[in-house]
Every structure is written in structure tokens, then in C-alpha cells.
Amino acid sequence: MINCIEDVEFGADLPAFVPDTSLTKGGQFAKLIGWDGPRFSDHEGARKEGLPGAMIPGVMSQGFLVAMIHHWAPSANIINIDTVFRAPVMADEAHTISGVVTDIDTDAGTVEIDLTVANTKQETRVFGTATIGFAAATD
């Protein structure tokens, strides 16, 4: 577990995170944020909209990325997170999230992390970059 910026190593892989991409959770999340609709809660309804099946909302994927970072570094602050949705994250399909430390700025107290959401075929569905901050260490 990472408690301060001195614990972070350049190039380190974050522990793999397996998100719950079930249709039930995706539908609940979409409803919670007021984005209800078959594309997130019903495979058949999503197909009627021309999609291959129900998807996980993009902001939920961002939430998974943030959760992964906080599992690794609970005391870190998310300063920004930027994601590109290359392809839909399909509900009821298994995905894994990986992350790697790409920059450390000890003067600013910030760390950059590259993040990827991939399916079991190792196809990247979402990738992004996060900048996180650590409070200055106290003696």
C-alpha cells in the first residue's frame, strides 16, 4: 500500500483491479446518476438501439479507475483523470484494469499513472491518464 510519494516507484504496476461490470450494477449506476435507459440495463433493449448489448456507463468506468487508484494509494487525492473511450465496456463481460506509474514529481507531490481497461481478449476498451497528489510528509 502506498502512503506517501516516497513509496511510489517509477514504472511500478498498480495491483490489478477487477471491476464489477455486471448488468445489474451497470443498470443501478446509470439509474443512480439519472441516466436510465435500456442501453445500460437491458441487453435486448440495447440491441434494439443498434448496440451489441448493454454497456457500462463511461463515468462508471472512470469510477473504477479512481477506485483502483485508491485501493493502491488510499491517502492520495485525484487531481485529474482523463479517459478515452475506444470501445464500449460491455455489461456482463469480464474486464481487468491495469495501471503503471509514468511520472513522479516529488517537488509538486504529484504522480502520473497510465490506466487501461481491457476485456478478456486483451482488447483495450478505455485508456486514460490520472494525476494524483500526496500531502507533504510531516516529521
Partner 1 sequence: MDAGKGIECLKPVRTGQTLIGKTHLHDIYTKTGRSGRMIFVVARLAFFDEAGIHLANSDSRIVMREKSAK
Query: Is residue 81 within the footprint of partner 1 (CB under 8 A)?
Result: yes
How far is 96 from 64, CA to CA, in rounded Å?
Answer: 10
Considering only the stretches 1-9, 29-37, 48-56, 83-91, report the one whose residues sit in contact with partner 1 under the rule CB under 8 A.
Answer: 83-91
Q: For residue 17, what is the DSSP state?
A: B
Q: Are 53 and 91 in contact (CB under 8 A)?
A: yes
3-class SS at 93?
coil
Interface residue with partner 1 among 24, 75, 80, 124 (CB under 8 A) is 80
Backbone phi and psi for residue 95, each to the nearest 5 degrees, phi listed first:
-135, 155
Block residue for cell numbers 513509496: 7
Interface residue with partner 1 among 85, 96, 118, 119 (CB under 8 A) is 85
Query: Is residue 51 within the footprint of partner 1 (CB under 8 A)?
Result: no
Half-sphere exposure of 118 toward its Cβ, with a 13 Å CA cutoff? 10
CB of 79 to partner 1, least distance (A): 6
How far is 75 from 83, CA to CA, in rounded Å?
Answer: 22
Query: Is residue 41 within the footprint of partner 1 (CB under 8 A)?
Result: no
Interface residue with partner 1 among 22, 37, 51, 83 (CB under 8 A) is 83
The residue among 19 and 128 lying less far from partner 1, judged by its C-beta, is 128
Q: Which residues bind partner 1 (CB under 8 A)?
A: 58-59, 62, 77-85, 128
